[in-house]
């Protein structure tokens, strides 16, 4: 029986562990926002001494349950300022926790998640749940420092959970996900954004010690950001079962496959109300349809309010090039959390061209956001170039299907 506790900073230091990533069991960490490859390092959980069910001595993959690593102990310290709700964290302030989150000021071994906000611990949680990598079929956790803006100074720390299992030493289902934190200058994250979550295949939500059965049920996993002051937070949702269902940040528990192939970037550097966010945009904000392959668009855009009880209203949907006259079917559900737009279209050779769209949406607190996207209908696949963006950036990969 595991007992839950919050642990404080430990002090032992070991050498940096370097190891090539193991082959993926199910998810593909190379498809995440920051692709995993052999240049990454295994998170040095053993460097702080044993916490929870820590790694065995000499285990190059640092397999463990409930352990943590401290920046600057067995790995480089963080050389930039990460601002979380007005507080700067740097150097050895940042902790990489096996249970799907980063914490600040102390390591965090708690394996049963709670919803946000919660007083007492600042946290960035791409997927706070009971990760257990002790099974040899489970992957492990890696990190990498990045110079995102090309100025020869590190500005981003990325941590990847690669096909990780769940408690108690189970790997019949695995999750692949990632968090990046920065000083806000990395253009790939969207200028001004300082947090990104990225997901590949998400297959479980709950460990046995959190009342899970075969990886589901029990206490839901939490996705979001917690300031630690008991008031300021950003919550995407809580997840406790298989499926794609999602009803907003504060509704019922959601299906974990909603997160599959999702990239989500935002800023958590201030105390202001977080604006509503759009989930489901394609990469580069462009749906590319090849009529010669019979491509069909079946897309769902969702607009969520990250504060509890936050309803979102779609104020305007502007079809700038009249795609609806060419056959695009648009459905709008508003207000809601989430509000939704569905896009359905099978174009033909008469519809070649680029169609531009503008959407404006507002939350219950009067904070508004807008997105622009386009549908490009071509006779052959094209290549879209990535551009630096500012503001919230939330992408859904692989939305086009061929008939």
Query: Does residue 392 register a pLDDT over 60?
Result: no
Position 290 confidence tier, pLDDT thresholds 50, 70, 90: very high
Helix (H) or strand (E) holding 33: none
Element housing 259 (H / E): none
For residue range 233-246, list pLDDT tens digits in order: 889 999 999 999 98
Average pLDDT over residues 264-290: 83
Residue 12 has pLDDT above 70, yes or no: no
Domains of the chain: 29-272 (no CATH), 279-402 (2.60.40)
Return all residues near 366 (Cβ < 8 A) that are at least 6 apart. none
| pLDDT(113) > 90 | yes
Are 200 and 31 in contact by the 8 Å Cβ rule? The answer is: yes
Which among 289, 298, 316 is positioned nearest to 370, based on CA atoms?
316
The phi and psi torsions of 43 (rounded to 5 degrees) equal: -65, 125
pLDDT surpasses 70 at 13: no
Place of tokens 């079917």: 329
Band the pLDDT of 250: cuts 50, 70, 90: confident
**Contact yes or no for 357/374 (Cβ under 8 A):** yes
- The whole-number pLDDT of residue 395 equals 63
pLDDT of 393 above 70: no
> Does residue 89 surpass a pLDDT of 90?
yes
Inter-residue contact 229 to 85 (CB < 8 Å): yes
Overall average pLDDT of the 236-260 stretch: 92
Q: Is the pLDDT confidence value at 180 over 70?
A: yes
The pLDDT of residue 21: 39
pLDDT at 390: 47
Sequence-ordered list of residues with C-beta below 8 angstroms from that of 178, at least 6 positions apart, any chain: 29, 32, 33, 34, 126, 158, 159, 160, 161, 196, 197, 198, 199
Where is average pLDDT lowest: 118-122, 281-285, 340-344?
A: 281-285
The confidence band for 403, taking pLDDT boundaries of 50, 70 and 90, is: very low
> What share of the chain has pLDDT > 70, as a percent?
86
Could you tell me which of 69, 61, 147, 62 has the C-alpha nearest to residue 101? 69
Instruction: Find the mean pLDDT for residues 314-325.
Output: 96
Sign of the alpha-carbon dihedral angle for 237, 242, 243, 245: negative
Regarding predicted confidence, which is higher, 51 or 93? 93
Average pLDDT of 310-339?
94
What's the CA gap between 16 and 241, in Å, rounded? 37
**What is the pLDDT, as a whole number, of residue 386?**
37
Q: What per-residue confidence (pLDDT) applies to 271?
A: 63
CA distance 87 to 177: 26
For the purposes of burial, counting CB atoms within 10 Å of the CB of 321, is it exposed (0-12), middle (13-18) or buried (19 or more)? middle
> Lowest mean pLDDT: which of 19-28, 59-68, 99-108?
19-28
CA dihedral sign, ordered 288, 291, 294, 300: positive
What mean pLDDT do residues 248-257 have?
Answer: 88
> What is the token pair recorded at 195?
């947090």
Q: In 169-271, at which residue ranges do the beta strands (DSSP E only) sit?
A: 170-182, 195-202, 221-226, 233-241, 254-255, 262-266
- pLDDT, average across residues 212-225: 97
Residue 142, pLDDT > 90, answer yes
Q: 257-267: buried (b, 16+ CB within 10 Å) or exposed (e) per residue?
A: bbbbbbbbbbb
Q: Is the dihedral of CA 93, 97, 102, 107 positive or negative?
A: negative
Greatest pairwise CA separation for the chain in angstroms: 68
pLDDT at 48: 77
Q: What predicted TM-score, i.e. pTM, was given to this entire model?
A: 0.79
Confidence of residue 394 (pLDDT cuts 50, 70, 90): low
**What radius of gyration do the chain's Cα atoms show?**
21
Which residues lie below 8 Å from residue 85, measured CB to CB, with a gap of 6+? 122, 227, 229, 232, 268, 269, 270, 271
Query: 60 CB contacts (<8 Å, ≥6 apart)?
Result: 17, 19, 42
pLDDT tops 80 at residue 330? yes
Strands in 71-227 per DSSP E? 78-84, 87-91, 94-97, 101-104, 123-128, 141-146, 156-166, 170-182, 195-202, 221-226
List the one residue out of 226, 223, 221 whose CA is nearest residue 117.
226
């Amino acid at each position: 029986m595991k007992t839950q506790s919050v642990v404080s900073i430990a002090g032992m230091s070991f050498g940096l562990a370097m190891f090539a990533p193991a082959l993926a069991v199910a998810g593909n960490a190379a498809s995440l926002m920051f692709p995993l490859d052999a240049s990454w390092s295994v998170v040095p959980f053993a460097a702080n001494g044993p916490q929870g069910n820590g790694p065995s001595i000499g285990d190059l993959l640092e397999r463990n349950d409930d352990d943590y690593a401290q920046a600057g102990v067995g790995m480089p310290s963080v050389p930039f300022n990460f601002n979380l709700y007005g507080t700067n964290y740097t150097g050895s302030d940042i902790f990489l926790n096996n249970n799907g989150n980063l914490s600040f000021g102390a390591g965090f071994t708690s394996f049963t998640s709670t919803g946000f906000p919660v007083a007492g611990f600042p946290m960035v949680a791409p997927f706070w749940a009971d990760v257990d990598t002790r099974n040899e079929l489970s992957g492990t956790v890696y990190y990498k420092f990045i110079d995102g803006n090309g100025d020869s100074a590190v500005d981003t720390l990325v941590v990847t959970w690669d096909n990780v299992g769940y408690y108690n030493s189970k790997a019949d289902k695995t999750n692949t996900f990632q968090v990046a934190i920065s000083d806000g200058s990395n253009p790939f994250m969207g200028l001004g954004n300082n947090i990104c979550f990225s997901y590949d295949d998400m297959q479980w939500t709950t460990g046995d010690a959190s009342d899970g059965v075969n990886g589901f049920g029990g206490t839901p996993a939490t996705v979001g950001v917690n300031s630690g002051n008991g008031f300021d937070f950003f919550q995407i949702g809580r997840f406790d079962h298989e499926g794609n269902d999602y009803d907003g940040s504060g509704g019922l528990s959601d299906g974990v496959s909603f997160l599959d192939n999702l990239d989500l970037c935002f800023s958590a550097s201030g105390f202001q109300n977080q604006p509503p966010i759009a989930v489901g945009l394609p990469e580069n904000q462009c749906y590319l349809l090849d009529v010669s392959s019979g491509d069909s668009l079946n897309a769902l855009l969702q607009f969520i309010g990250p504060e509890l009880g936050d309803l979102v209203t779609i104020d305007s949907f502007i079809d700038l090039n009249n795609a609806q006259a060419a056959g695009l079917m648009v459905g709008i559900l508003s207000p809601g959390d989430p509000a939704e737009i569905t896009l359905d279209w099978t174009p033909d050779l008469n519809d070649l061209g680029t169609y531009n769209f503008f959407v404006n949406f507002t939350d219950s607190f009067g904070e508004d956001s807008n997105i622009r996207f386009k549908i490009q209908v071509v006779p052959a696949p094209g290549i879209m170039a990535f551009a630096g963006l500012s503001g919230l950036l939330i992408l859904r990969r692989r939305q086009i299907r061929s008939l």
